Structure 1
């Protein structure tokens, strides 16, 4: 009889361990969801993305006062996933060959959207990091939503003047095989190949600096 009681207690203990493990997994998933935004579109429209083709005026671009996108340096590029991808510059709307424009120095591409809360917390850190890096690393924002005018307005409100590109069809995310969450940072080597995908928001300027140093070998 005592043996049966012991078996019962052991089985009960195992069930409790399994329940605790399941609960821990749920908490971890919820924590990741809280730290990131799913790329489901503008929550103010019930999750539907802003229709493509929304007009963006020259006044919208001028008010944002963004840095111009880099021009191609002629540096050699390898066969990375972004090679040949052309997107429009947020500053003036002109098309740029992404890999050619970034070639020659390490780069950090930050995928974000105007409706993403964690993105709004991270962007000022990226601006500070870019200022600290003083040109050693190109920091380029990638607005991954069709609502370009709203993206420009968001950058204006946050006083972000980093160069950026419009990516209404999430071409960068698809090309690098990133999950459908925001923000995401793509670290590129000088030849345009991907060194690392960072699928989380940065927590501080030092966090960005340490990650860039570890993955790209550039201290800033």
Structure 2
């Protein structure tokens, strides 16, 4: 073999090796590029708070015919865990400062969700109890999930007209330290402090009356 031929073969081998190295480097780096792109795409399509809830039609609120949420009374407030929590009223969408609105008399906050079976059985009992209690106590429903329109539809189907608020981030449940179950009833004293967190569904109007009388001193 001549010297020129040997040099030619050596040059060809070096060129082939360079191509192989380049391909190997590209293959090694490719997953990094694609993972970065995938992560960017995921970040662009998903947020910590999830997709924004569509606006609720006023006709849906009107059809539900819910009682208006209570207004601030100016009554003194104690060291309530609900202090600073403002939620939207289901009846008209306006913000409700819970402690300020409920202060002045005892209250029963019922945490529920449109998909909750035991909640659907309990809500009519709470409405009957509220009618018996009259002005002695406020019964307020707290929809503890997203989906205001679904909540309104569920209440309308059940014939429930109690005042209620929307709590998509479960702020009330978190504030009172309740477990992630539904339904839950929070019994508040007149100054907004918590008397009892009831982690079970009520089984009758008498059950509600007895529990409220024992914890809040209100007989209905």
Deviation sequence 1:26-75 (CA, Å, 0-9, x none): xxxxxxxxxxxxxxxxxxxxxxxx95423211011000000000011110
Q: What TM-score do you get using the length of structure 2 for normalisation? A: 0.77
4+ long deviations beyond 6 Å: none
Counterpart for residue 7 of structure 2: none
RMSD, matched Cα: 1.3
Deviation sequence 1:74-118 (CA, Å, 0-9, x none): 100012100111000000000010000000000000000000000
Matched, 1:147 2:147: yes
Equivalent-residue separation in structure 2 for 1:72 and 1:168 (angstroms): 22
Alignment of 1:66-105 (within 5 A): 66-105=66-105
Deviation at 1:166, TM superposition (A): 0.4
Equivalent-residue separation in structure 2 for 1:169 and 1:51 (angstroms): 13
Counterpart for residue 64 of structure 2: 64
Equivalent-residue separation in structure 2 for 1:184 and 1:99 (angstroms): 18
Deviation sequence 1:112-131 (CA, Å, 0-9, x none): 00000000000000000000
Equivalent-residue separation in structure 2 for 1:123 and 1:108 (angstroms): 12
Equivalent-residue separation in structure 1 for 2:51 and 2:77 (angstroms): 34
Counterpart for residue 133 of structure 2: 133
Q: Give the greater-gyration-radius structure (CA).
A: 2
Secondary structure of 1:101's aligned partner: helix
Aligned residues: 172
Q: What TM-score do you get using the length of structure 1 for normalisation? A: 0.77
Counterpart for residue 198 of structure 1: 198
Secondary structure of 1:135's aligned partner: helix
Equivalent-residue separation in structure 1 for 2:54 and 2:204 (angstroms): 34
Secondary structure of 1:141's aligned partner: strand
**Where does structure 1 lack aligned partners over 5 or more consecutive residues?**
1-49
